[in-house]
A = this chain, B = another copy of it.
Amino acid sequence: MRLGWIAAALSVAWAGLAHAYDVKEIGSYFIGGHMQTLTGLPEETVYFYQGAPPTAYNPNGDVHTGQMYVHYVRLQPPRAAVPIILVHGGGLSGTGWESTPDGRPGWQQFFLQAGFDVVVPDQVERGRSNWSRWPQIFTSAPLFRTAQEGWTLFRIGPTYASDPAARVAEPNTQFPVGGYDNFVGSFNARWTTTDAVAQAAFDQMIDKECPCILVAHSAGSGFAVRAALRAPDKILALVGLEPSAAPDPASIDMARLKAIPMLFVWGDHLDDFPAWKKIVVNPYKFQDGQAAQGRMDVVHLPERGITGNTHMMMMDRNSDQVAGVVRDWLAERKLVQ
């Protein structure tokens, strides 16, 4: 009886400890970009915060632009051979890897527990990377995604409504719909004219962190594929989660990628949303091209009996199950013990 009690206590302690991991360092850095001098802007008098004294504000001078924020957690020691870099999609920042909209641990935590050093950048202009004023530096105005657009574009369901009770989701959706408004708070302003500067900073991150594994979601796949084309020897594996920006292989030198094992993962309801018929065209051509090189695995989750996943599979209620698909594929390739 007493032994049984001790065993139960140890079991509880173990269940807790099994989730913990030894961390060597948590930190971040900015990489890329350059200083730029602004001139000719009007001066003002401002109050920087409640109760602050009046301050002369001169916006002219040197500012930094084009830098990328990169967050990292380094384990002591990692069980994986190389770090995993989690690359977010368009209109988002790295926050979507840290937690789910209903407050569960995100893929960052999953892959830390799986023994990987985890690197999470915010694309240039997004999140902590900071944006630059326009039209003085960025040449276009930003775009803001609405809750309406996200609901259907991410295939949560056919009909959004401001009233949460009136929204229509797919009956089997895995998205935690109660957290949708919270998720909308993570939407980032985006520019459509910053790809080159964003890629330059991304490539500098690759040079610093890799060899590595790239896991890229949605529009983030464009940065990942271009990085792989530039430095194929540094990318030990490339995982695309609904990699909407994977390019038409006719537009690139696919042969440069032939040594890189790739996994593309697709969710549910791809045929139910007209926009997706267009979105998948290039990525499907890309994966056919990589398959012809013998280095492509494609998982349509419903074909494995995993149904209801949205475009935001790292936030879906079964996010750990989907992460497990990726981890198992990496383990089969001996990239983690």
Contacts and interface: CB of A to CB of B under 8 A. Distances in A.
B58 A103 contact: no
A30 B133 contact: no
A272 interface: no
A23 B20 contact: yes
Nearest to A131: B189
A64 B245 contact: no
- Copies, count: 2
Given A49-B245, A95-B128, A146-B62, A24 B19 contact: yes
Nearest to A108: B26
Interface stretch (A180-188, A234-242, A260-268, A302-310): A180-188
A71 B48 contact: no
A143 B29 contact: no
B60 A146 contact: yes
Interface in A1-51: 16-17, 19-30, 33, 35, 37-38, 46-51
A281 B220 CA distance: 49
Given A63-B146, A69-B95, A133-B142, 15 more contacts: A20-B22, A25-B105, A28-B98, A30-B95, A35-B184, A48-B192, A49-B222, A62-B146, A62-B162, A64-B187, A67-B182, A67-B185, A95-B128, A130-B186, A130-B187
Q: Which secondary structure characterizes the binding site on chain A? A: mixed
15 contacts: A16-B24, A23-B112, A27-B99, A30-B186, A35-B181, A48-B90, A48-B143, A48-B219, A49-B195, A51-B251, A52-B245, A58-B149, A63-B184, A63-B187, A130-B188
A121 interface: no
Contact of A185 (B19, B91, B130): B130
Contacts of A133: 142, 144, 189
A319 interface: no
Nearest to A222: B49
A93 interface: yes
B48 A190 contact: yes
B30 A185 contact: yes
A203 B98 CA distance: 22
A187 B52 CA distance: 19
A61 B146 contact: yes
A153 to B, nearest CB: 9
B109 A184 contact: no
A278 B58 CA distance: 19
A144 B112 CA distance: 36
